[in-house]
Amino acid sequence: MAQATYIIVGAGSAGCALAYRLSEDPGNRVLVLEFGGTDAGPFIQMPAALSYPMNMSRYDWGFETEPEPHLGGRRLATPRGKVVGGSSSINGMVYVRGHACDYDTWAEMGARDWDYAHVLPYFQRMESAHHPHLDEEPGVRGANGPLHITRGTKWNPLYAAFVEAGRQAGYEATHDYNGLKQEGFGDMEMTVWKGRRWSAANAYLKPALKRPNVELVKGAFVTRVLFEGKRAVGVEYERGGRIETAHADGEVILAASSINSPRILMLSGIGDGKALSSLGIPVIANRPGVGKNLQDHLELYIQQACSQPITLYKHWNLVSKGMIGLQWLLQGKGLGASNHFEACAFIRSKAGVKYPDIQYHFLPFAVRYDGKAAAEGHGFQAHVGPMRSKSRGRITLTSPDPKANPSILFNYMSHPDDWEDFRTAIRLTREIFGQDAFAPYRGEEIQPGEAVRSDKELDAFIREHAESAYHPCGTCRMGAAADPNAVVDPEGRVIGVEGLRVADSSIFPQITNGNLNGPSILTGEKMSDHILGRTPLPPSNQEAWIHPDWETAQR
């Protein structure tokens, strides 16, 4: 039986950061259990190959939703990383901290000391940001952390056209949406360093594994947490067809994703007592919030034909892909060294919205996230979607068998406001694409298509074409210990038991603005200090920019 001070379940975004920080004290023995295998190889490490790993069963858990009732009964893919680095090894490498108001909202919802003032120092600790405007906002971005954050070369003129179109439409510009001013159009940041995907595994876990007090066990399928009374003392896992156990002298930390962390809790007897009893699972702690509060970002691809042959479409052939791959392998440079999301925007949908609630990823290509071309020929697109959907879903067990997939229902678009927000997002995107900056490049609208105009027509398009942005979170919600729907307290401790914490995107009370990799790593960073009993980093006094006329103006 393996013995450790801390057992971390999941070598993903938060788990890797935890392994790095908890092992800084040589007196701590850290055991990391990961079901997936190695992250070596060009499909993961080459940024431009991002559409491959998330569609490979070798690297992805292969989850999908139940038929979503408000999206015409479609089942949507729910990729989660089954590989060292977790979803940071298969994601789009987009780096977004989230808005300051996101974290202030968390604190208002019961996550004490997770407001912007308290999380900003941890973002600084984890980052090494590389961009030309760092000196303009001292004390905001980090320069010495493990996570390298870079910007693209903006090799394509369409990136500049997108930012200029935003300015022409009357929106703000921002030099750094991860600084104090998220709102506006500007350069997008990526977790890429020296041409390679800079996953949590590369940033945190591999340096940690050089220490003698860290052990990584791959191929470990964790089936349940082991308890003595109400205290977690270890975990049971299957590896190579054998059941094994590991014992924790200190604590067990679940960092297994917003799908697998609640699943393991429920299999271990923590969750809705009636539901667990109906499956024959002995109840250790009745926490009805486990698996509830499931949130995500949905997005649409608004696509425009390009009248000049300048997009990535010209490289959409085997010869060109081979040349790009060869240049990347030999030099770590070229088109293979970018995720190609190099321009972006965060805007507000209407007056009276305090901070951005719509996000854009801009891409000089008309293609789906899974790498399937939607249009023959040159085009460009904006991924657009509302940031704070009011719809909530759930994850439940289908069986006491740990190998049975959970039932996942996001209940997308179940709130009427979500439909209004999406229609607004489409219309605002068309206005941006209609600016003079795009005049030299603008062809026909590919998707939704010029004829799709009325609310009813737009709703039909949304129902058929909205896709997940793959940002599931919220299923082990953090809150006050007295909150009956909270699963963990503000230090990640599972309420109702001892020696067990959760530290990943499942603890988010509300989804943040933008992609979740950055906030997930933040969770591992901040929770490590709580676990070690360290004095938290002192809060910042920086204040984020809020549009001065937000109450009366949309832009």
pTM of the model: 0.97
Given this model, what pLDDT does residue 425 score?
A: 98
CA distance 451 to 188: 31
Given this model, what pLDDT does residue 373 score?
A: 59
Given this model, what pLDDT does residue 376 score?
A: 73
Hey, where are the domains in the chain?
A: 1-67+79-146+198-291+474-534, 153-187+295-391+414-465
Place of tokens 């991924």: 383
Given this model, what pLDDT does residue 51 score?
A: 87
The answer on whether 94 is annotated among ligand-binding residues is yes
Chain centroid offset of residue 178 CA: 15
Check if CATH label 3.30.410.40 holds for domain 153-187+295-391+414-465.
Answer: yes
Q: To 5 degrees, how large is the angle CA 368–CA 373–CA 376? A: 140
Given 130, 471, 530, 547, the catalytic residue: 471
Gyration radius of the chain over CA positions = 23
Given this model, what pLDDT does residue 281 score?
A: 98
**Known catalytic residue: 175?**
no
CA distance 409 to 5: 36
The answer on whether 222 is annotated among ligand-binding residues is yes
CA distance 39 to 548: 46
Say which CATH class 1-67+79-146+198-291+474-534 falls into. alpha beta
Find out whether 220 and 240 touch, Cβ atoms under 8 Å. Answer: no
Mean pLDDT, 10 residues at a time, over the chain (555 residues)? 94 98 98 97 92 92 97 97 98 98 98 98 98 90 97 96 98 97 98 97 98 98 98 98 97 98 98 98 98 98 96 88 90 92 98 98 83 75 97 98 97 97 98 98 95 98 96 98 96 98 98 98 98 97 98 98
Structure-token pair, residue 483? 């909150």
The answer on whether 83 is annotated among ligand-binding residues is yes
Q: Which amino acid is at 281?
A: I
In angstroms, what CA-CA distances link 549 with 33, 354, 553?
Answer: 50, 9, 6
The answer on whether 92 is annotated among ligand-binding residues is yes
Find out whether 384 and 302 touch, Cβ atoms under 8 Å. Answer: yes
The answer on whether 96 is annotated among ligand-binding residues is no
CA distance 382 to 364: 9
The answer on whether 219 is annotated among ligand-binding residues is no
CA distance 407 to 367: 30
